[in-house]
Structures are given as structure tokens and as C-alpha cells.
Structure 1
Amino acid sequence: MAQETDLKIAVLIDADNVSSVKIESILDEVKRYGIPSIKRIYADWTKSHVAGWKEPLLTHAITPIQQYSYTSGKNSSDSALIIDAMDILHGQQVDGFTIVSSDSDFTRLAVRLRESGKMVIGVGEKKTPKPFIAACDKFIYIEILDKEAAVRSQAKEKPVPEAAATAGKATKQIGQGAQAYEPIDRETIDLLKATVNDVADEGGWAPLAAIGTLINKRRPDFDPRVYGFSKLSPLFKSLSAYFDVEEKSTEKTKIKHVYIKIKEPQKPNRGKTKQLTQS
């Protein structure tokens, strides 16, 4: 069976819903899940607003698909993308699809692709309607990729030793600026607690890998990077008031496995309370 990173993914881009300056970060993100074996982008290329795509298309070997706007106010590119997706589904060997758009019109397409056993990754802005997000196996916000690109850009501008030492500071500074990270709210903590509880063993410990898998099933748009953490493990470590984190490694492989447990609330010391009352 092919490894997850060996999965062949068709990347279909709605040019009317994404800026050309975002494409490098988007493709880098897709490569975390597999190989973008098909890369197509849809637009009416006679329009001036897509002129900025020429250089990125050449750099990243993306095939532009021309679709004229037959009627004013109607986005015919959506139909062309959907038709191509179905052709690829039935005619070419791919393991999944990435739909780059913030448009809810692709909700039914995502549902249909998943019904056929294909992985569906959505990439769009935070304005993306919830039905399209829920229809995907995984949904990635472009705003998160922008923040990561900004951190990398800051690191590149510094000398190597200093960049390594201040990488965390750069992330913090960006988080405090105009691109502030979201706070971890009660809804998120409740989601984490419920997920840990559902996959925990009799002792209450849950493997981090199983937690991550279940969270993605429940919330396709859940991403630790929204809160300023690169991965799920440091997110849990930051919530030490709610969770215990333990790392274990096998003697043979020395591979570390992370386990999470919901921290039990501390019980008040009744003996001390009684003594204080009597005194």
C-alpha cells in the first residue's frame, strides 16, 4: 500500500477565488499530503484580473483551462472545474483531490468525490461557507499559510545562527501584530477533551496520532497553526491546566510516542479545611 506522502493528488484551482501570490504556499501544503500529479487552474483568461497568473503558471507547471464567461454575472469556471473533476475521477488514477476555492458551489462536488472513496482537501479563505468545509476530509485556511510564509520570510532575513535562536520570537511577534493568532477558546478545549476521552484506554491515556485522526474527522478545518502551534503536541503541552502529556519510546526503535490524558481536577484537602474551621 502506498504511503500517505505517495498519494497522487489532482489540484484544481478556481482562479477567481485565490490570488496568484498564494499558489506557492498552497502547493507546498498539498505536498504534505501527497504528490500533485495534476495541476489545473480555471478562469476566463481574456479578463484583466487574472493577468498576474502568467508567471506562477510557468513556474509551477500549472495547466490553465480557458473558460469564457457566456453570461454576465455567472461564473462558468466553476462548471468547467466540476466537469474536469468528474472526468479525472473516472478516467485517471488519482488518490485524492485538492479544490482551491472559497466558493460553496463546490460542496456537492466534494461530497461526490468522497463518496467515490477519494480524499478531498479544501483550500480557501476563512469566509468559506461551512457546508463546503464539512464536505472535505481536510480544510486548510489560506490565512494560516500566509502567517507561516511571513515567519519564514523573517527568518531568512536574519543571519543563520540568529535566525535559529529567534525563530520562536518571530512567530510570537507576528502573532501579536496584525496577523494575531486566535485564542484557544472553551469550544476548542471541549473538542480536545471529548476526543481524548473517546480514544483513551482504561487508564485514560490516548495516543496523539489517534486524537489527530478523530479531530480531523469531526472538524476538517481544525489546525493547531490557527492558534500559533506548528503541531498538535505543543498545543496540548500549552494546555497543562487541562491535560497531562507523556512521551514513551520503545527500546528497539527508540521512536517516541506521545500520549494525552485529561487532567483530573484537584480535590480540596478536607482535613486542612476542617482544621482551619476549628481554629
Structure 2
Amino acid sequence: MDNERKFALLIDADNISPKYLMVMLAEAKRYGNVTIRRIYGDWTDNSKKTWKDNLLDYSIVPIQQYSYTTGKNSSDSAMIIDAMDILYSNVIDGFILVSSDSDFTRLAMRLREAGKTVIGMGEAKTPSAFVKACEEFKTLDVLFKNTLSTEEQKEVLETTEDETSNDISDVAPITEIGEIKKCILSILDEHSDENGRMLLSELGRLLTKEYPDFDERNYGKYKKFSQFVQKLSGCEIDMVYFEGENKPPLAYVKTK
């Protein structure tokens, strides 16, 4: 659709495993039309072979950046320069920055200062500074573990041939579920109406504002935020329907 929001997907290949490619693309499409897809790395490096094998199939443009210094991520500067060029071209509504590197913290802040939506993606080890600089942050290793079935995970791992990919048993969300529960109850206490309830959508917005890394799927096989909230002790969902009107029902949440 013409009014669909347009995003630029920029991937730091030096900091992200190719095993997350399918999860990454699926998440990116949730936000709108990903019109720009670029990935940055030293493509003369044999360790990038799995990335190279998949780029053409998913219309991701590789940007060559030679590693002039051992141990230094050479993709940072190229990705930052490209992001600013795209920003000033004013052809997209937001950016999806894929990296577990805190070096992109200032970039995320600058893009938001310019009024662009910034979605971050990376592993649970990503420094909190970069996570909080984004409006939302998707934890790829946690989503990989919780969203994909065991068979799908095995299929992806076999395709990527990543020696580090099998160690996912200890993967955990950035923010513990206890912190999320406490925040939800605090928001309800502060923002609920005289009946002790508030819109579920508004609760989700305020929760993500406090914890950009929040995603109900990080904590189990939840498909909807309402399912997650209903599982929390002391919370329930009320649905308000409009008789005779062509309006979708409104979902409210309140403590029991």
C-alpha cells in the first residue's frame, strides 16, 4: 500500500550471526515495507560465507568494508555514514539497526532526534545503552529460541553451519520477568481509571517505553500481549463490545 511505512534495514555482519536471518526479516516486516536492505562487513573474510550464500535470495545488498585493523569492527563507520545519507535523502520513515555493538548508540539517538522510528535488533548481550537508545529492541537469540520450533531451529542451524549456534540453552531475556511484572502493576496503579482499569494498548505502549526490549514472546510461546498479561498473577482482561456499531472491541486490563 502507498501509505505503508518504509524502513531501512542495516545489518552489522561482524556482530550478528546469520542464523538469525529469518527471525530478523520476519520481525522487520512487522513494521512496514523494508525498502532498503544493506549488510556491512569484510566479504573477503571466509567466515562470512554463510551470509554471502543467503544475501541474494533475500535481496540484501552487501557493502564491502575492509578490516584495516585486527580486532576492530570495521563495519561501524560505513554503516553510520550510510545511515546518515539515507536520513538526509528523506525517503524512509524509520531504521532497523541490527547489531549487538554499543557503538551504534549515538546513531540511534541521532536518528530519533530527526524524527525517525528506530528499531534495534541484537543478542541479549547487547549493552543497555544501545537497547535504551531504540524505541523498540528485538532480542534475536531469545526470539530464535522461543519463536521457532525445535525442528525449525535445527534446520536453521544446519543451514548456517555456525559452530556457536548450538549453545542456546542459557539464552535469557535482557529484562527479567519479575521486572516486567512489577512495571505492569506500577503502570496500572498510576494510570488506571476510577474502575481500576486501563486500555491494554496503552499499557503496552508505556511498558515498551520503559523497557524497549520487552516482547511477550521473550517469555514463552505467547502470540499476543493479552495472553501474556492474563498469565500474570493479579491481572485480567475485560473486553468491551459495541452493539450495533461496526467497531472492534476494546481490551482493558485491571488487577483482580
The bucket for the TM-score relative to the shorter chain is 0.7 to 0.9
Question: In structure 2, what is the Cα distance between the partners aligned to 1:21 and 1:250?
Answer: 45
> Counterpart amino acid of 1:136?
C
> Counterpart amino acid of 1:44?
D
Question: In structure 2, what is the Cα distance between the partners aligned to 1:101 and 1:38?
Answer: 17
Task: Pick the structure with more helix per residue.
Answer: 1
Percentage of identical aligned residues? 46
1:36 alignment counterpart: 34
User: Is residue 206 of structure 1 aligned with residue 198 of structure 2?
Assistant: yes
Q: Write the mapping of 1:16-95 to structure 2, written as runs, cut at 5 A.
A: 16-95=14-93
Question: Retained in 1: the 8 A contact 2:20–2:141?
Answer: no
Larger RCO of the pair (alpha carbons < 8 Å, separation 6+)? 2
1:224 alignment counterpart: 216
> Counterpart amino acid of 2:188?
V
CA positional deviation for 1:21: 2.5
1:13 alignment counterpart: 11
User: Is residue 148 of structure 1 aligned with residue 140 of structure 2?
Assistant: no
> Counterpart amino acid of 2:44?
T
The number of aligned residues is: 238
| Aligned match for 1:193, one of 180, 185, 188 | 185
2:236 alignment counterpart: 244
CA positional deviation for 1:199: 3.0
Q: Secondary structure at the match of 1:126?
A: coil
CA positional deviation for 1:235: 1.1
Scaled by the length of structure 1, the TM-score of the pair is 0.79
Gaps of 5+ in 2: 154-167
Question: Retained in 1: the 8 A contact 2:41–2:64?
Answer: yes
What is the RMSD of the two structures over their aligned residues, measured on CA atoms? 2.3
1:101 alignment counterpart: 99
Gaps of 5+ in 1: 155-176, 264-279
> Counterpart amino acid of 1:190?
K
CA positional deviation for 1:202: 2.1
Question: In structure 2, what is the Cα distance between the partners aligned to 1:52 and 1:61?
Answer: 15
> Counterpart amino acid of 2:250?
H
The 4+ residue runs of structure 1 with deviation greater than 3 A are: 151-154, 177-186
Question: In structure 2, what is the Cα distance between the partners aligned to 1:186 and 1:144?
Answer: 17
CA positional deviation for 1:150: 2.2
